[in-house]
Each structure stands twice: as structure tokens, then as C-alpha cells.
Amino acid sequence: MSKIKSIAIIIDGNRRWAVKNGLKKTEGHEYGLKKINKTISWIKEEGVENMTFYVFSTENWNRSKNEVNILMILFEKVFTEKIEEFMDMEVSIKFVGSIDKFSKKLQKIIKDTEEKTKHFKTKVFFAASYGGRAEIVDAVKNAGKDLTKKELEKMTEKKFESFLWTADIPDPEIIIRTGGNRRLSNFLLWKGAYSEIYFLNTLWPDFSKKLLGKILEHYYKKVKINKGK
């Protein structure tokens, strides 16, 4: 049986986890970002070479100014201080989304992180300032600019996909959402068309290697059963 090539995760529940544990809501985000690094190592151990984390949606810009500012500071901190960890794990970091909405400082940190890690085989994508609808609209606009009328008339799904922010992400076999909500929240609307979706009640900071193992075990069993029919 072929190995899973791509896993995507909607990280949800950071703020509720913080309240549950008597912490400030913003502290939940810090714990959530730390959990991402652990999860990268667990997924990599399973031989999965592509993983995508939904860390900040286009809708998240509508949160309080204070919370957004704290999140931006956390992003700057993580991708400055944790670069050596990413290098040690031998993972290539790539951001997908409306990155131009971030501060110039954060954009530079993002660019530097991508450049320093680009040669590694295992790819880790961070969907940041990302929204599936915005991605598709942007792809339509770019296709209209770059292609002739005749080329547009002959447009294929494969060609259109090349204009997506997520063009380099293999379609995920599995999408995991923590936090108890049972929706995709505008995540990978194109790429996730045929993904198996696992909704967990577990809040993101409590996500564990054991839970990941159960999901993979269930997926492989299901694939094996379906192939046997």
C-alpha cells in the first residue's frame, strides 16, 4: 500500500484551551505554535513528505486588534527563533496566502525562512492570511492576465491549478480539524476536494502522537478495505 503523501491540519481550539487551563487566550496561541513543531516531527516519522497547517485565515484579520498584533509578534518570534529547529528537522518551509498583508518585517522573516530551508525534501506549508475562496478568485484574476482568450477557452483543471497559491501542495489524502467544529472554514476548497476529513473534539494544544497514529491507522484500513472491493 502506498504511503500518504500529504496531510493538512486545521489547528483550532487554542483560545478555548487557554481559558480551560486558566491562561490568557493569547497564551493559547503560543502553546499551539509549539505543538506544530512536535506534530511536524511525528508526521515526518510516518514518512509523509508534505504537510500543511492552517494557522491564520483571511477572516482572522477581523479579530480584535490586540489579538492580531500578539499573533503577528508570535509569528515573528517563532520563525526567527525556531529556524534552527526547522533546519535540524530537515524540513522546507513555505507560506501560502496573502502574505503581502503582513508587515514588511514579517514578510522578510518569511522570505528568509523559505530561502534557508528550501533545499530539504520534506515540505511544510503554512497557510497564513489564507482563504480558499480568495485563493480561487486570485487564481481566476491571474489566469485572465496571463492567458489569451483562446488559452482560457482551453483551460484545464491542471492548468488552472498552477495559478493557485497552493499549486505546490499535493492534494492531501487527509485533512484533520481539531477543536470540535465540523467544517472546513474556507480551507483548501480546491485541493481538499477528495480528502478524507477527520474532525476531532480535542483542542489543538492537546493533540498527540497517539491521536495522529489512530487517524493514520483508520485511514490505511479504510483504503485497504476499499481496494479489496
Query: Annotated catalytic sites, by residue?
Result: 12, 60
Between CA 27 and CA 37 the distance in angstroms is 17
SS3 32: helix
How are strands ordered across the β-sheet holding 196-199? 91-96, 122-130, 50-57, 6-10, 174-177, 196-199
Name the amino acid, one letter, at 149: K
- Position 52, amino acid: T
Alpha helices in 127-229 (DSSP H): 132-146, 149-153, 157-161, 209-228
Q: 196 CB contacts (<8 Å, ≥6 apart)?
A: 173, 174, 175, 219, 222
C-alpha cell at 7: 496531510
Would the CA dihedral through 91, 125, 206, 217 be positive or negative?
negative
The set of cell numbers assigned to 160 is: 488552472
Instruction: Please provide the distance, in angstroms rounded to a whole number, between the alpha carbons at the two ends of the chain.
Output: 15
